[in-house]
Amino acid sequence: MAQKKLSIRIDGQLISAEEGQTILQAAKANGKYIPTLCALDGLTPVGACRVCLVEVSGVDRLFPACTTPIQEGMSVTTNSPRLTRYRRMSVELLLVERNHTCAVCVSNGHCELQSMATALGVNTVGFAYNYPKLSVDMSHPRFVLDHNRCILCTRCVRVCAELEGAHVWDVTSRGIHARIVSELNEKWGQATSCTNCGKCVQACPTGALAEKGWAVEEMVKKIGTVTSLVHRRGVQV
């Protein structure tokens, strides 16, 4: 059955989109760019990073484009000084929360958080740095989990549960104490449900999940291997 068509405006332009689509999907289908970090094609959107915030006219608060479904007559603004301010703030808060030492990171130069900061013109951070003491899990024979670089985007959780079907990863605790854990907080190397497929590593936007054996700047993620798999399987989200 054909999807019902809805008429919305994105940045003033009249667009016909399918009912059930999110603002982000409708924008993408019409060549409109909205910056994102936690979103990944084919995975359930969660609205974790707050980088894709947009304005909806008539409503004062901002909406994450990745999780907000479109409605008939909706008018969306994807870019404004206010949005840039809030998007920068989101990235700055991610940068202060943990230890993103780009200069010595395996993902330096190939990191989505780093390039988002650049794209948004973040050249300093207005909040006090947290510098928490965080662990690094080296127990897996092929991969590393470095909590210092994790932004809790949960791409690893979703790609493992939804694409690989193993659901090794989850999030434990709340707020500043939240951490990615494998199985019931086991060491990754002891996680018997892990198939060693590496999808979580390729989907991770930062250096939080990486292959072993790479030095600074050497970990280039093959995110296409994950998204192409989505398209091959025809996963509808």
CB 219 within 8 A of CB 210: yes
For the CB of residue 186, give the shortest distance to another protein in the complex, in Å.
24
Question: What value, to the nearest 5°, has the Cα angle with vertex 189 and ends 188 and 193?
Answer: 70
Site track 125-144 with another protein (rule: CB under 8 A), x = hit = xx-xx-xxxx----------
**Identified binder of another protein from the candidate list 114, 154, 202, 206, rule CB under 8 A:** 114
**Identified binder of another protein from the candidate list 123, 141, 175, 234, rule CB under 8 A:** 123
For the CB of residue 68, give the shortest distance to another protein in the complex, in Å.
29
Q: Is 177 helix (H, G, I), strand (E, B) or coil?
A: helix
Q: Are strands 209-211 and 143-146 parallel, antiparallel or unpaired?
A: antiparallel
CB 27 within 8 A of CB 52: no
DSSP 105: -
Please list, in sequence order, all residues whose beta carbon lies within 8 angstroms of the beta carbon of residue 161, skipping any fewer than 6 positions away.
Answer: 167, 169
**Identified binder of another protein from the candidate list 3, 7, 72, 104, rule CB under 8 A:** 104
For the CB of residue 124, give the shortest distance to another protein in the complex, in Å.
4
Bridge partners, 83 (sequence order):
none
Question: What value, to the nearest 5°, has the Cα angle with vertex 148 and ends 142 and 151?
Answer: 95
For the CB of residue 136, give the shortest distance to another protein in the complex, in Å.
12
**Residue 118 found at the interface with another protein (CB under 8 A):** yes
- CA 190 from centre of chain: 26
The region of 102-110, 153-161, 180-188, 218-226 touching another protein under the rule CB under 8 A is: 102-110
Instruction: Between 124 and 192, name the residue whose CB sits nearer to another protein.
Output: 124
Q: What is the largest CA-CA distance in the chain?
A: 53
Instruction: Between 30 and 108, name the residue whose CB sits nearer to another protein.
Output: 108
**Residue 108 found at the interface with another protein (CB under 8 A):** yes
Hey, which residues between 62 and 101 contact another protein (CB under 8 A)?
A: 95, 99-101
Name the residues that contact another protein, by CB under 8 A: 95, 99-105, 108-109, 114-115, 117-119, 121, 123-126, 128-129, 131-134
